[in-house]
């Protein structure tokens, strides 16, 4: 019993160690899944979504209108842009799941670097390119793809690889720790088993020990299999019957482990696919290769329930509950041909079908596995009923509007969802357009009838508001214009009457002016003859002045000669006076010599007495010569004085003659100027006479023009009356105000009559002033 008790203790220890080991293994697997595998899956999903976003940008760029294939797309570019938004939201969710696995500071730094790279990829790349594509700036979006998105994606992928490597390394590390822990547990288990076997040696023989040990291993293995643990290591130590049993158990464990793992994987994949398809809003069904429906998602089943009554009209007994398991060929007119086509389908096929009273675009694709075996088909039923109804209704409405019928409206009762909102909006637009155009048409009709007092008063916005304002402004301007024309017509009529009266007055004054000009012309002829006679007299005076000038010039020359002769006499007298002065000097010298000779003779005595007598005589002679020279000098001086006085008189007479000659010249010039002026005056009077004659002719022509102007004024008055009658059909305001405006010019014309009458005497005053001027001349 002690041996069995020891064995039981050993078994309990084995179970305890096993349970502890399984707990540690479970914790390790939980950590490996939660902190390694899930983050790796999240990173893989994020990388896939980021790659899909870049692909969506590339697909959106294919919608560039400059791309010849852009028109081949069966969807709008918004599909790609919306998918980008969905992917960005999913990336955020995946990253939130990943952040739960961050448990260290260096891991956080590495994750932050990845977040920054991903933010640049989204904020500076995806969103900028998405906005550019939404605004049809495809070239800018393409530039962002090349310069920002691709480099940012590469950088984010680089950081993601670092995170993959980190998690992979940590997973390997934890796996190594788990293996070490497993080895330790196995060691302890073996140790305990050995101890138990050692204790059993005391209880049983070697045969029992050899039998019970494998049986215990088999039992433990079956327990592990029963618990779903296919990783237990089956120890095979011999080749007898028990060893073969262990070998069979090992093979069964390995085979069952692989089968269960594959079944779990396939079940998980199928479950994910089924959940995704059921969550999809698209109508999806899957049929096998024989056309039997094996799956339909919730969206398709919901749609079939909606059209179930219509389906029963064509297929009595149809039920949505039996749709899965039925043949897909039942929905075609020729089921056999349809099933044959589906079995031979190699690519996507689109067919527009009417099913249960609704129109579907059925898109079918073959399902082929990796061994190129056909497994069946998958089909998507796209309900286009609302879209087609909307297209037909809008086409009919446009046709009616093009024909001028703005009273037609869309029947929104047959529309659904967005198309119903679109139809309501189009009806509102047509209602507004019809109302605005109708009011403006009524306004133009009234304008055509001559009523300019009406306007459009309804409140419109945008282009219709501007059209209303422009129409009202046009009517206002036209009303002002017609009012101005009516008033101007009355003014022109009054002015025409005044012009006619003025022309009559002007005609009489023109005739008076013509008679006055005739009298002026005769007076000018007499004045011309008188001026011509004055010109002849001035000519003769000019000739006499010329003769007097010649005589005065000759007298001036003679006086000049006398002056020159007197100057010569004066010079000769001066020379004689000089000669007398020389003679007087000689007499004075002779007297001195005689005085010296007498002094020398007195000194000589008797011998010089005769010489003294001669000297006395010579002295007497010199004295008489000096006296005579003095008298001659006196006479000459008197004669020179008289000659100088005569010279002055002659000089004065010469200057007087020069003044006389100058005066005669000036008189001759004045007479010449008078003669020239008389000629010019005669020519001017002739020109004035000619001008008066021309004025007489012009006055006669003016009289004729005045008569024509009077006729034109009468015609203008008739045209003004016709213009007033033409615009009187327009109604621009209340009749009282209109008549009041038209009465104003009449009062002005009445006040203008006295002014025209007061202007009549002016031609007579002008004629009198002209006569006075001629008289003064």
**Helix or strand (DSSP H, E) at 140:** helix 138-144
User: Which tops the pLDDT comparison, 348 or 575?
Assistant: 348
377-415 in b/e form (b: 16+ CB < 10 A) is: bbbbbebebbbebbeebeeebeeeeeeeebebbbebeeb
- pLDDT at position 544 over 80: no
Report the pLDDT averaged over residues 761-765: 41
The band of 752, judged by pLDDT with boundaries at 50, 70 and 90, is very low
Residue 524: partners with Cβ closer than 8 Å, 6 or more residues away: 685, 688, 689, 692, 774
- pLDDT at position 757 over 50: no
- pLDDT at position 750 over 60: no
pLDDT recorded at residue 743: 41
Q: What does the H/E/C string look like for 436-504?
A: HHHHHHHHHHHHHCCECCCCCCCCCCHHHHHHHHHHHHHHHHHHHHHHHHHHHHHHHHHHHHHHHHHHH
The band of 4, judged by pLDDT with boundaries at 50, 70 and 90, is low
Q: What share of the chain is helix, strand, coil (3-state, %, to 5)?
A: 80, 5, 15
pLDDT recorded at residue 261: 66
pLDDT recorded at residue 769: 42
The band of 761, judged by pLDDT with boundaries at 50, 70 and 90, is very low
What percent of the chain stands above pLDDT 90?
0
- pLDDT at position 773 over 80: no
Report the pLDDT averaged over residues 536-560: 70
Report the pLDDT averaged over residues 490-518: 75
Express each pLDDT in 365-395 by its tens digit: 888 887 888 878 888 888 777 777 777 777 7
CA distance 507 to 511: 6
CA distance 713 to 494: 11
User: How many residues are there in the chain?
Assistant: 777
CA distance 187 to 192: 8
- pLDDT at position 176 over 60: yes
Taking the model in full, what pTM does it have?
0.30
CA distance 289 to 296: 15
Q: Which residue has the tokens 């004055």?
A: 534
pLDDT recorded at residue 739: 43
Radius of gyration of the chain (CA): 74
User: Which tops the pLDDT comparison, 130 or 629?
Assistant: 130
* Six token digits for residue 188: 């302890």
Report the pLDDT averaged over residues 241-265: 70
For residues 527 and 685, the answer to whether their CB atoms sit within 8 Å is yes
Q: What rounded mean pLDDT belongs to the chain?
A: 73
* Six token digits for residue 397: 């409405």
| CA-closest candidate to residue 360, choices 435, 418, 417, 283 | 283
- pLDDT at position 775 over 50: no
Kindly tell me the burial class for residue 506, based on how many C-beta atoms sit within 10 Å of its own C-beta (0-12, 13-18, 19 or more): buried
Residue 452: partners with Cβ closer than 8 Å, 6 or more residues away: 446, 475, 478, 479, 482, 730, 731, 732
Residue 450: partners with Cβ closer than 8 Å, 6 or more residues away: 729, 730, 731
What number of H helices and E strands is found in the chain?
18, 5
- pLDDT at position 753 over 50: no
Residue 752: partners with Cβ closer than 8 Å, 6 or more residues away: 494, 498
CA distance 710 to 506: 10
For residues 178 and 28, the answer to whether their CB atoms sit within 8 Å is yes
**Helix or strand (DSSP H, E) at 379:** strand 374-383
What would the DSSP string read from start to end of 590-607?
HHHHHHHHHHHHHHHGGG
Residue 68: Cβ within 10 Å count: 7
SS3 229: coil
| CA-closest candidate to residue 763, choices 684, 679, 706, 718 | 706
- pLDDT at position 56 over 80: yes
CA distance 545 to 400: 114
For residues 408 and 434, the answer to whether their CB atoms sit within 8 Å is no
CA distance 135 to 129: 10
Q: Which residue has the tokens 């327009």?
A: 730
Express each pLDDT in 87-115 by its tens digit: 888 888 888 877 777 777 887 888 888 88
For residues 168 and 40, the answer to whether their CB atoms sit within 8 Å is yes
SS3 699: helix
Residue 328: Cβ within 10 Å count: 24
- pLDDT at position 589 over 50: yes
Which of 253-262, 454-463, 727-736 is least confident?
A: 727-736
Measured distance between the N- and C-terminal CA atoms of the chain, rounded to whole angstroms: 183
pLDDT recorded at residue 6: 58
Report the pLDDT averaged over residues 388-409: 72
Report the pLDDT averaged over residues 184-193: 77
Report the pLDDT averaged over residues 212-233: 71
- pLDDT at position 592 over 70: yes
CA distance 761 to 500: 18
For residues 129 and 54, the answer to whether their CB atoms sit within 8 Å is no
CA distance 158 to 121: 13
Which of 141-145, 207-211, 248-252, 338-342 is least confident?
A: 207-211
| CA-closest candidate to residue 115, choices 174, 65, 46 | 46
| CA-closest candidate to residue 679, choices 687, 44, 128, 691 | 687
Strand spans (E) along 278-373: 283-288, 293-296, 349-355, 358-368
Express each pLDDT in 636-652 by its tens digit: 777 767 777 776 776 77
* Six token digits for residue 395: 């086409």
pLDDT recorded at residue 273: 64
For residues 412 and 420, the answer to whether their CB atoms sit within 8 Å is yes
The band of 177, judged by pLDDT with boundaries at 50, 70 and 90, is confident
Express each pLDDT in 455-487 by its tens digit: 777 777 777 778 778 878 887 887 777 777 877
* Six token digits for residue 645: 């006085």
For residues 518 and 689, the answer to whether their CB atoms sit within 8 Å is no
Give the range with max mean pLDDT: 13-27, 111-125, 492-506.
Answer: 111-125
CA distance 126 to 136: 15
pLDDT recorded at residue 338: 82
pLDDT recorded at residue 648: 75
CA distance 563 to 555: 12
pLDDT recorded at residue 566: 66
| CA-closest candidate to residue 141, choices 196, 64, 51 | 64
Express each pLDDT in 593-632 by its tens digit: 777 777 777 777 776 667 677 777 777 777 777 777 777 7
Residue 199: Cβ within 10 Å count: 18
Kindly state the DSSP code that residue 294 receives in the 8-state scheme: E
Q: Which residue has the tokens 């969710």?
A: 93
**Helix or strand (DSSP H, E) at 401:** helix 385-402
Residue 61: partners with Cβ closer than 8 Å, 6 or more residues away: 133, 138, 141, 142, 145
Express each pLDDT in 649-664 by its tens digit: 767 777 776 777 777 7
pLDDT recorded at residue 360: 83
């Amino acid at each position: 019993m002690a041996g069995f008790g020891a064995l039981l203790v050993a078994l309990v220890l084995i179970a305890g160690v096993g349970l502890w080991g399984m707990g540690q293994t479970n914790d390790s697997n939980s950590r490996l899944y939660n902190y390694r595998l899930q983050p790796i899956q999240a990173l893989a999903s994020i990388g896939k979504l980021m790659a899909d976003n870049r692909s969506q940008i590339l697909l959106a760029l294919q919608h560039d209108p400059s791309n010849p294939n852009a028109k081949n797309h069966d969807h709008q570019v918004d599909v790609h842009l919306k998918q980008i938004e969905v992917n960005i939201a999913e990336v955020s969710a995946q990253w939130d799941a990943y952040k739960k696995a961050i448990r260290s500071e260096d891991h956080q730094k590495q994750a932050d670097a990845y977040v920054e790279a991903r933010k640049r990829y989204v904020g500076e790349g995806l969103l900028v390119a998405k906005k550019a594509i939404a605004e049809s700036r495809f070239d800018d979006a393409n530039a962002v793809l090349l310069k920002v998105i691709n480099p940012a994606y590469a950088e984010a992928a680089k950081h993601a690889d670092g995170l993959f490597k980190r998690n992979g390394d940590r997973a390997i590390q934890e796996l190594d720790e788990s293996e070490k822990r497993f080895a330790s547990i196995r060691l302890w288990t073996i140790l305990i088993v050995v101890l138990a076997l050692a204790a059993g040696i005391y209880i049983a023989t070697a045969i029992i020990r050899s039998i019970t040990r494998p049986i215990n291993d088999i039992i433990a293995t079956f327990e592990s299999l029963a618990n779903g643990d296919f990783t237990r290591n089956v120890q095979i130590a011999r080749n007898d019957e028990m060893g073969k049993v262990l070998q069979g158990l090992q093979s069964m464990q390995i085979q069952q482990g692989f089968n269960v793992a594959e079944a779990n994987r396939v079940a998980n994949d199928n479950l994910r696919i089924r959940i995704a398809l059921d969550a999809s809003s698209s109508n999806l069904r899957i049929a096998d290769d024989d056309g039997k429906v094996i799956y339909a998602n919730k969206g398709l089943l919901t749609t079939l329930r909606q059209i179930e009554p219509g389906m029963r009209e064509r297929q009595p007994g149809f039920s949505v509950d039996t749709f899965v398991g039925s043949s897909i060929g039942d929905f075609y007119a020729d089921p056999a041909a349809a099933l044959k086509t589906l079995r031979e389908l190699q690519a996507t096929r689109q067919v527009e079908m009417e099913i249960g009273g609704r129109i579907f675009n059925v898109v079918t694709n073959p399902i082929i596995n990796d061994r190129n075996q056909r497994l069946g088909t998958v089909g998507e039923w796209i309900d286009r009923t609302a879209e087609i109804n909307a297209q037909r209704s809008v086409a009919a409405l446009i046709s009616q509007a093009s024909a001028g019928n703005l009273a037609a409206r869309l029947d929104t009762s047959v529309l659904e969802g967005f198309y119903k909102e679109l139809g309501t909006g189009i009806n509102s637009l047509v209602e507004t357009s019809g109302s605005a155009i109708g009011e403006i048409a009524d306004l133009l009709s009234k304008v055509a009838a001559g009523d300019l007092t009406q306007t459009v008063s309804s409140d419109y916005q945008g282009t219709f508001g501007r059209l209303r304002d422009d129409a009202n402004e046009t009517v206002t301007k036209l009303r002002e214009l017609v009012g101005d024309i009516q008033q101007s017509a009355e003014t022109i009529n009054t002015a025409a009457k005044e012009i006619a009266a003025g022309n009559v007055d002007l005609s009489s004054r023109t005739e008076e002016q013509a008679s006055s000009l005739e009298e002026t012309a005769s007076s000018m002829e007499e004045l011309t003859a008188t001026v011509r006679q004055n010109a002849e007299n001035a000519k003769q005076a000019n000739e006499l002045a010329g003769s007097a000038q010649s005589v005065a010039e000759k007298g001036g020359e003679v006086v000049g000669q006398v002056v020159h002769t007197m100057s010569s006499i004066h010079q000769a007298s001066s020379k004689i006076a000089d000669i007398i002065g020389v003679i007087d000097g000689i007499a004075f010298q002779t007297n001195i010599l005689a005085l010296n000779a007498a002094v020398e003779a007195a000194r000589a005595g008797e011998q010089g007495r005769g010489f003294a007598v001669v000297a006395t005589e010579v002295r007497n002679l010199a004295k008489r010569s000096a006296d005579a020279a003095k008298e001659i000098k006196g006479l000459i001086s008197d004669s020179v004085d008289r000659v100088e006085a005569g010279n002055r008189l002659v000089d004065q007479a010469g200057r007087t003659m020069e003044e006389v000659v100058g005066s005669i010249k000036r008189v001759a010039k004045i007479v010449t100027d008078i003669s020239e002026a008389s000629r010019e005056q005669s020519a001017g009077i002739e020109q004035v006479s000619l001008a008066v004659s021309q004025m007489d002719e012009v006055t006669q022509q003016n009289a004729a023009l005045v008569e024509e102007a009077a006729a034109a004024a009468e015609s203008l008055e008739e045209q003004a009356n016709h213009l007033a009658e033409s615009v009187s059909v327009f109604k621009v305001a209340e009749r009282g105000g209109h008549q009041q405006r038209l009465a104003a010019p009449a009062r002005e014309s009445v006040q203008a009559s006295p002014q025209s009458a007061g202007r009549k005497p002016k031609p007579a005053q002008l004629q009198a002033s002209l006569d006075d001027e001629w008289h003064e001349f």
